[in-house]
Amino acid sequence: MARTGTPSALNKYSGIIFAVTLFLVFNLAVLALNFYTSSTLNNDAVSINLAGRQRMLSQRTTKVLLSIQVDAAQGQYNDKNTAELKKVASLFDTTLNGFKTGGTVVGGDEKPVGLEKVNDAIAVQSVDEALRIWQPYKKLLEPVINSKVIDETSLDAATFYARENNLKLLKLMNDLTSQLEKNTKAKAGNLQLIQTIALVLSLLLFANIVFNALRKLRAADGEIEKAQRETTEILNTVKEGLFLLDPQLAVGSQFSSSISKILQHDISANIPFMPILEGLVSPEIYSSAKDYLDLLFGNKVKENLMRSLNPLTQVKVQAKSDVAPRYLSFQFNRVVEEKRVLHLLVTVQDVTEQVTQAEELMALKGQSSINLGLLSKLLQADVFQLRQFLNNVHTGLEAVNVILANADKRSANHEDLANQCFRIIHAIKGEASVIGLDAIETHAHQFEEHLVLLRKKSSWDAQEILSLPVMLSAMLEQISRIETIVNLIQSHHESANTVQQQPSVSTRVGNNLLRLTEQVSKNQNKNVQLKLNLALLDEMDTKTANQLQQIGIQLVRNGICHGIEPTAMRLTKGKSAQGEISISAQASPEGVIDFIVRDDGQGIVPSRIRAAMLTSGRYSNETVDQLSDKDIVNKLFEPGFSTANNTDKDAGRGVGMDLVQSLVNEIGGELKIDTKPDVFTQFTFRIAKHASPSINLNATEAFA
């Protein structure tokens, strides 16, 4: 879990900080309001008290005045009364004026007190009315107050006015008091309401803060708990061994539970690591590892270099409890703080499976071509035929190698080189398919495909030049593995005294061609019967017989692919559903031998070849037009000529006829083609007379 830095902390807590700020501001506002309220209510209380006092003062004024009058009627003069009248009248006057204009008046405790002028309409009216009554009253009282003797005239006037207005004045002051009280009550009510609302809001805010804070705390606790739980879970379940190593090379307190199993040693916090390692690896590795760990803690050598020097990558270990050696991969990462290596984070993996798997895979890859299918083919195949085939392949591949080795000595261009190799590989492919060695056939096919690619290029780069011996080597390896197996099979046969009778050449070639026909017609989805008359082959030397077989292979393949029509088409042409190919070796009375391959297919029709050349897209209109019919047929013998639209193992490489021609040249003789559209095609190879010494009436196996 990532630690939160300052900016993100601000961010994380912004909500709560905002809420707390709002709460404080709000509470300050409420406090200010309270101050304001209580100060206004204080003022109001002063006003109410003073208004109440006015009631009393008005009555007192009248009472003292009347007392003076009573005294005067008895002829007495009490200056105490006069003084009191002065005091109460003056007090009433200043207070009343204070209500009107605001100002400082003497309070109940004889101290000056601030009085606010009244604002309320009713109160103002009461004050104004009271002033209207008071002003003349005051004027009438002045002589009474100022007289040091009994002044009955002034006294009577004042008393009269007092009697007349006293109750009015009292009522007005009473009204004023009530009004002020009423106002204050209303104000206090409002303030109370506001205070209540503020209190509620503030409580809500507080609750919100508390709730949020708690939630955040709970979440944080949850996260920490989760992180801890996850760490524990990881450490408990992770397959890799994980632990920290301190500079004293002791294991830290946190480590994955798998580590004990991987190291085959009980691990606990602070257990020294080196003795455990010592029990696992060789002394050389141990001493290297010790130095290596010291260098890691030294932190002098760069991490990259250190990583490349780790002596404990894929290290072979064997603990006392291990039955077989295992492979472990240790990885060390420095935990650096201020250029000091505090710990090493050690990751250990048991890579035994990968290592052994890789080994097995490599072993398997090395023998990829020896699979069960191939093995069963080899067991079924005729050992003599196999030997002969392997010999042919060897000869062929060696010829390819010679071509490669002399590649730059000849003036030959790359295309020729590719073609030469192609012919040889194609022959191998044909023979392999005849014997049913799919693995070699596939290999040869890949080789061919590669040669086709190279044939198109005017120059080859290093990889392309190299690819040829590499493919060659791969085929040679494959062949030599098959040879080993063939030897085993043969020795088995010999020891079991089940040495196979060597079949005659004609039978062998015949069987091969039958197998080929079956296979190719199945691939091409055609119905073909092969008729054979090859007895004469038994009288030839094996080399010629093999070469004729090669010719047969190519022509039968061509016959099925290009000659014999699909069944439906044959039926519309009024032919039998099953196509027929016949191969025969016939001797003329003059002793000349003809090797004839005939099919009852669609024939070689120049116009069809032209059309096929055009649709293949490989030839232009002009090229095709310029060629005579004979040229067109001769095209069939050019290397790389093909009209097949897609290439498969059976046809489309355009090498078959090229190979036939070169075999014909090798044996010596003439090749003749007879064909009739929709009826037949016949290849007649008349073997030259000078080649006849190769006829061997008593041929035996010449291959070892």
Partner 1 sequence: MSDLSEKDIEIFIEAIGGYFKQITQEAASIGVAYLAKNAFPLNDFTGMIRVSADYDGALYFSAPSAMLRHLLTVMKETNQSEENLLDAVGEIANTISGNARKYFGENMVISIPEKIAGLASMLNEQSRRHAYVIIIKWKHYSASLIVDISRLR
Partner 2 sequence: MKLMIVDDSNIIRNRISRIMADAKLPEIEIIGTASSGTEAHALFQTAHPDIVTMDLTMPEMDGVECTTLLTNLDPDVKILIISALSDKATAIQALKNGAAGFLYKPFTDDELVNALLELIEE
Interface residue list for partner 2 (CB under 8 A) = 284, 288, 291-292, 294-295, 300-302, 305, 308-311
CB neighbours of residue 313 within 10 Å: 15
Return d(Cα 339, Cα 136) in angstroms, integer.
Answer: 101
Contact indicator for 458, 414 with CB cutoff of 8 Å = yes
Q: Tell me how far, at minimum, the Cβ of 432 lies from partner 1, in Å.
A: 20
**Maximum Cα–Cα distance for the chain, whole Å?**
201
Residue 654 CA from chain centroid, whole number: 48
Which residues, in sequence order, are CB contacts of 420 under 8 Å at separation 6+? Answer: 403, 412
**295 or 476, CB closer to partner 1?**
476
Report whether 552 contacts 513 (CB < 8 A).
yes
**Looking only at residues 361 through 390 of this chain, which bind partner 1 when binding is defined by CB under 8 A?**
362-363, 365-366
Q: Compare residues 228 and 367 and give the one whose CB is closer to partner 1.
A: 367
Which one, 291 or 674, has the nearer CB to partner 2? 291
Among 1, 375, 470, 488, binds partner 1 (CB under 8 A): 470
Q: Residue 323 contacts by C-beta under 8 Å, 6 or more apart in sequence?
A: none
Among partner 2, partner 1, none, what does residue 401 contact (CB within 5–8 Å per kind)? Answer: partner 1
How near is the Cβ of 339 to partner 2 at its closest, in Å?
Answer: 11
Q: Which is nearer to partner 1, 188 or 476 (CB)?
A: 476
499 binds, among partner 2, partner 1, none (CB under 5 to 8 A by kind): none
- Residue closer to partner 1, measured from CB, 232 or 480: 480
CB of 285 to partner 2, least distance (A): 8
Please identify, using beta-carbon distances, which residue of 214 and 466 lies nearer to partner 1.
466
- Residue 670: partners with Cβ closer than 8 Å, 6 or more residues away: 664, 685, 686, 688
Q: Give the type of residue at 183.
A: N
Residue 196's binding partner, choosing from partner 1, partner 2, none, with beta-carbon cut-off 5 to 8 A by kind? none
Could you tell which of partner 1, partner 2, none binds residue 365, using a CB distance below 5 to 8 A set by kind? partner 1
Q: Which of 196, 232, 376, 473 binds partner 1 (CB under 8 A)?
A: 473
Q: How far is the CB of 333 from partner 1 (least distance, A)?
A: 19
Are 637 and 666 in contact by the 8 Å Cβ rule? The answer is no
Report the phi/psi class of residue 313: left, alpha or beta, with left for phi > 0 and alpha for psi in -120 to 50: beta
Which of partner 2, partner 1, none has residue 70 at its interface (CB below 5 to 8 Å by kind)? none
* Binding segment (CB under 8 A) for partner 1, from list 355-363, 437-445, 520-528, 694-702: 355-363
684: partner contacted, choices partner 1, partner 2, none (Cβ within 5-8 A by kind): none
Residues 6+ apart with CB under 8 A from 528: 517, 521, 559, 560, 564, 578, 579, 580, 581
| In the complex, minimum distance from the CB of residue 554 to partner 2, in angstroms, rounded to a whole number | 52
Tell me the site size for partner 1, rule CB under 8 A. 27
Q: Which partner, partner 2, partner 1, none, binds residue 640 by CB below 5 to 8 Å per kind?
A: none
The sign of the CA dihedral 571, 577, 581, 582 is negative
Tokens 């105490």, residue located: 80
Beta pairing partners, 343: 335
- Using CB under 8 A, which residues numbered 30 to 49 contact partner 1? none
Binding track, positions 430-469, relative to partner 1; x by CB under 8 A: --------------------------------xx-xxxxx
Q: How far apart are CA 76 and CA 85, in angstroms?
A: 16
Nearest residue to 591 via CA among 444, 692, 473 = 692
Nearer to partner 2, 291 or 322 (CB): 291
Q: How far is the CB of 283 from partner 2 (least distance, A)?
A: 12
Q: Please, what is the minimum distance in Å from the beta carbon of residue 410 to partner 1? A: 10
- Return the number of the residue (225 or 291) whose C-beta is nearest partner 2: 291
- Planar angle of CA 672, 677, 678, nearest 5 degrees: 120
Residue closer to partner 1 by CB (options 151, 483) is 483
Q: What one-character DSSP code corresponds to residue 690?
A: G
3-state DSSP call for residue 595? Answer: strand
Look up residue 102 and give its DSSP letter: -
Q: How many CB atoms lie within 10 A of CB 106?
A: 17
Residue 603: name its binding partner from partner 2, partner 1, none (Cβ under 5 to 8 Å by kind). Answer: none
Indicate the helix (H) or strand (E) that contains 320. none
CB atoms closer than 10 angstroms to residue 492: 11
Residue 637 DSSP SS3: coil
Query: What is the closest distance, in whole angstroms, from the C-beta atom of residue 362 to partner 1 in the complex?
Result: 5
Report the partner that residue 309 touches, choosing among partner 2, partner 1, none (CB closer than 5 to 8 A by kind). partner 2
In the complex, minimum distance from the CB of residue 523 to partner 2, in angstroms, rounded to a whole number: 53
Residue 311 C-beta: closest distance to partner 2, Å: 5
Helix 383-405 with 505-523: angle, nearest 10 deg: 70
Number of H helices, E strands in the chain: 21, 12
Distance in Å, CB of 466 to partner 2, minimum: 22
Residues that bind partner 1 (CB under 8 A): 313, 358-359, 362-363, 365-366, 401, 404-408, 462-463, 465-470, 472-474, 476-477, 480
